[in-house]
Each structure stands twice: as C-alpha cells, then as structure tokens.
Chain A
Amino acid sequence: MRRGLNLLLTVVFLGTDVAAAEDVTRAWSFKNNFSIPDAPAYLLLGVEPSDILRPETPRDLALGFAKFRTGDGGFGIPRAIALEFSPLLLSSPDDLTLAQYKKRRLWYASRLSVATLLDSTTGTPSRLAGGFRVTVVDERTIGTDSSYIESLRVTDLTRQILQIRTSAADRFREEAFRAIDVEAEAGGLSAAAVRERKREWIRKYGGDNPAQTIEEDEQIARLSKEIKKRFTERYWNATVLDLAAGVRATSPDSTGRSMRLDALSLWGTYALRTGRISQVILGLKGGSQRDSLDGDMRANLAVGARYYIGSARGKAFAEWQTTVSEEQRARCTLTGGIEFAASEWAWLNFGVASTKTTGEASQVVTTFRLKTALPSF
C-alpha cells in the first residue's frame, strides 16, 4: 500500500513573516500532525532566532521552504530551502516489519540534510549547509507497540466501522448467493453443486473490500479520521531524543562565489512529555562560527528550553534561550506564542520574542507565520 514507515513527503513553508522579524518556530506535519523538524542544515542557515533543534520521529523525506518575503515587502519564491532524508528509510521495502526496523533502528533513524539560502538580490546561493541527525530515543511511533492499546482507546470506533463493513459484506454476499439460488432453480443444480458454487464464490470474492454505499463510505471516513485524530492527540508530546551535527559555508558577497566554511555545530535536544497536554524541550547547541571581521573561528554555546501546553492541533509555548560566544556579550531571548492548525492544510503561528544582550536595551519582535504540509507521495 505505502512504504513501510512514514513514506512522507512533507512540504513545509517555514516562513511568511508579517512583522519585521526572523522566523521563530516550526511547522506541523499534516499527515500525523506531529511537529516538523527544523533540520540541522536548515538551522545553520541562520534564519531562525532559536538554536533549539526540535526533535522529530524519523521520516523518509521532508522539505522546508522559508523566507518568502521579497525586498519590497511582497512575496516571492522562497529563499531558504532545506531537505532532510533518511537514506535507509527511503530505500526500505514496503513491507518493512517492526523486527527489521528495531534491528537497525539507529540506521533508520539517521538522516542527512542539506540547505541553501539564496541571495535576496542576485538569487544565487550565498550560503550552503549540510547536517546529520540521529534519533536516539523515540517513544512516539515505532516504540509504542506495547502501550498502544492501553493508551489509545479507539475500540468503540473500530466497532462502528466493523458494523458498517460487516453489513456491506453481508449484503454483498447475500446478493451473490441469491443469484446462485435463482440460477440453481432454473438450471436444476443439485444441493451439493449449489454449495460448491457458493464456496467458490467465497474463495473468489469473499475478500476484504465489499462494496459500500456512498453514505457508508462517508461514515467510515469520519470514523477513520477520528481514529487518526486520537492517535495524534495521544502521541504529539511523546519523548524524543535527537543528536545532530552540521557544517556551513558562506559566500563573502552576493555573487555566491568563494564559499568558505564558516560554521559548525553540534546539537542535543530532548523532548519530554510532562503531562497529558504538555511537553518540554531541552536543547543544547555548541559550535564554532567565523567572525566576519577578523575571520577567526569563535566558539559559541546556546542553552534553551521550550514549554508547550495544549493539544496536537493547538498549543501555547514559551521559550528561554541563552547564548554565549567567545569575545561577545551573552544574549538572552524569551519567546512566547501560540501555534494551531487553522485547517488540515494550514498552520498558523503567532509569537512575541524579546532579546536582551548584556549591556544593551531589549528588542521586541512579533511574528506571524503560515505553514503548510502535504501528506505523502
């Protein structure tokens, strides 16, 4: 039917800033409504004020676009483009089993990412980044088999679906058997012959997909949607631990020539369920970045925490982050906001961020972002 795990092409529009502010947060997956990751390479582009890498369940392929705003205030093609993929998941067979996945779990959970930032005037790539991420702990999907039944509680819905399907299957069968009976009566078939005909029908057509009426199809679609919703609500804030690394090269001017390595980073990020409707993300980033004035590499360290409260479809968040860099003043950023799904295809994010650099006045920015995602190939 579909690829073994999340065969998911997710297109994420990561930024349509309304206020004059940088992009702040991440998009959400349409398919399962879990958060869509900020790929390590994407974060290295420097278009996000936050250095916390949002952990995510491994997926085959994800694409991200940001920076839609043009210099004159309009909207254009995205200037920031990122792609993250798991080579092993992409090449895995359709019938990948749990046992096979667990056997090489870290390999499946390893993803590569590439990203580029196009210059706003020339449109040529002025910054390139590459990254690697591995999900070490993931209680969101594959690892949840044992706790699945106890926590999800969708049996009442499967019962309703079964009743509709069973009714359709019986109707399908009765119509066929009636036709056989009529034919037997006209043709004088023996009871044994009729029995065999009916058994033959079951062998051929007594399968899994009886024809349903349009109304029945609609009822099943509604119930199916509710099951998926319950699954998402149950697991949106499950525990995930990601480790990542990335490197970046930047051109000194808008021509995109003479790219030079100018940043490398390591991330550790841990998303922890703190309650039925809450989650905290603890993030650490260490690295080195080239000083634009003297060309020397300077070490930096960022520590942050983000707290979510709400549901899979809508939540409020608050974030604190402190960044210290070699020969630079410490910077502290506090961010608060909400993110919610306006529909199955559109996610909205409102945020207010206050940044305070030691010895300087605070700066406050507001953001509004629209994000969308596609479910699958």
Chain B
Amino acid sequence: MTTANFTAAGGRLSAEITCEPRRDGSYDLRLWHRDLNKKVKEWSGNFRVTEDDRYDLPAPASVNHGRALQSLVVVAVPSGVSPSTVSLIVRQGDKELARESRLVEQGSVDQLVQLWVDLQLVGGK
C-alpha cells in the first residue's frame, strides 16, 4: 500500500487508472472513508479509451485525509503478447503524488489486480 501525501493548499486531488501497453480490461475505483468500512464514492471504467480514466476526488482536498483509494482491475493479456503494467496514480493538480503498479503477465486474461493508495494530509489543515 502506497501513501500519497498531499497538502491542503495544493489543489484538487485526482486518481487515474492506467494500463500500459493498453489492453482490453475493466476496473472499479473506490474511495473509502477513513474508517475503511464505507465507500465515499465509486467509479467504473475500461481501457477501450484512456482519456476518461482520470477522476477528481472530493474537494477541498483536506476532506480526503485518512481515506484510501482501492482499484480492482481485470485486464485481458492473452498468451503471445507482452505483459502490461496496471497503475493507480494519485495527483494533486498536475503533480504526481503516488503510483501503485502491478505487472500483469501474458496469459492472464482473468486475473484480478488490487491497488491501494492511502491519502494523507501533511502540513496541517
């Protein structure tokens, strides 16, 4: 589990799911409350197009302190093609704060990948 340290004044937080090289696949992205038992919000998507895989987190950024992002991804990487790297990237503005990645080998057409990123406010509210 990676931690994304953000500041209150650094701008809006966003999360992006990527798959490189791009493969056919689907994902869920969840933002968990601080107590981890309830979801604040949930998004779904796929990798057919990559322009819409970035999501803004609730504003102001400070409300996300202690929350956790979880992404569940299934990517179809059949035999005979190169492996793909699936990543959950957290940014504040355009600045990348954290990146959690996992390699999906060829022949993994049904494997689940879970990526977690903790959101931590630094420098006080």
**Nearest-Cβ distance from residue B49 to partner chain A, whole angstroms:** 9
Of A36-44, A138-146, A317-325, A346-354, the stretch lying at the interface with chain B is A138-146
B27 touching A162, Cβ below 8 Å:
yes
A162 touching B72, Cβ below 8 Å:
yes
B41 within 8 A of partner (CB): no
B82 touching A208, Cβ below 8 Å:
no
**Nearest-Cβ distance from residue A96 to partner chain B, whole angstroms:** 8
B81 touching A141, Cβ below 8 Å:
yes
B52-89, CB < 8 A from A: 68, 70, 72-76, 78-83
- Residues in chain A near residue B110, CB distance under 8 A: 161, 220-221, 223-224, 227
Query: Which residues of A pack against B, CB within 8 Å?
Result: 1-2, 4-6, 8, 31-32, 57, 95-98, 101, 140-142, 144-145, 148-149, 152-155, 157-159, 161-162, 165-166, 169, 177, 191, 195, 198-199, 202-203, 206-210, 220-221, 223-224, 227-228, 231
B36 within 8 A of partner (CB): yes
- Residues in chain B near residue A6, CB distance under 8 A: 79-80
Q: Which of A1, A145, A207 interacts with B21 by CB under 8 Å?
A: A145
B109 within 8 A of partner (CB): yes
> Given that A1-B107, A155-B24, A158-B24 are contacting pairs, would A206 and B82 also be in contact in the complex, using a CB cutoff of 8 Å?
no
19 other A-B residue contacts (CB within 8 Å) besides A97-B82, A159-B46: A2-B79, A4-B83, A32-B79, A142-B80, A145-B81, A145-B82, A148-B23, A152-B24, A155-B24, A157-B76, A158-B25, A161-B74, A198-B36, A199-B1, A206-B1, A206-B70, A208-B114, A224-B109, A231-B78
B102 touching A208, Cβ below 8 Å:
yes
B83-111, CB < 8 A from A: 83, 102-103, 105-111
Query: Which residues of B pack against A, CB within 8 Å?
Result: 1, 21-28, 34-37, 46-48, 68, 70, 72-76, 78-83, 102-103, 105-114, 116, 118
Q: Which of B23, B35, B108, B111 interacts with A149 by CB under 8 Å?
A: B23
A155 touching B116, Cβ below 8 Å:
no
A31 touching B79, Cβ below 8 Å:
yes
- Residues in chain A near residue B22, CB distance under 8 A: 145, 148-149
- Residues in chain A near residue B21, CB distance under 8 A: 98, 145, 148
Complex Cα spacing A148 to B81, Å: 10
A162 touching B36, Cβ below 8 Å:
no
Interface centre among B46, B76, B78, B110 (most CB of A within 10 A): B110
B36 touching A228, Cβ below 8 Å:
no
B80 touching A141, Cβ below 8 Å:
yes
B24 touching A210, Cβ below 8 Å:
no
- Residues in chain B near residue A165, CB distance under 8 A: 72, 74, 112
Q: Which of B28, B76, B103 interacts with A166 by CB under 8 Å?
A: B28
For residue A168, which residue of chain B has the nearest CB? B112
A142 touching B82, Cβ below 8 Å:
yes
> Given that A98-B21, A161-B74 are contacting pairs, would A208 and B111 also be in contact in the complex, using a CB cutoff of 8 Å?
yes
Complex Cα spacing A95 to B26, Å: 23
Complex Cα spacing A4 to B80, Å: 8
- Residues in chain B near residue A141, CB distance under 8 A: 80-81
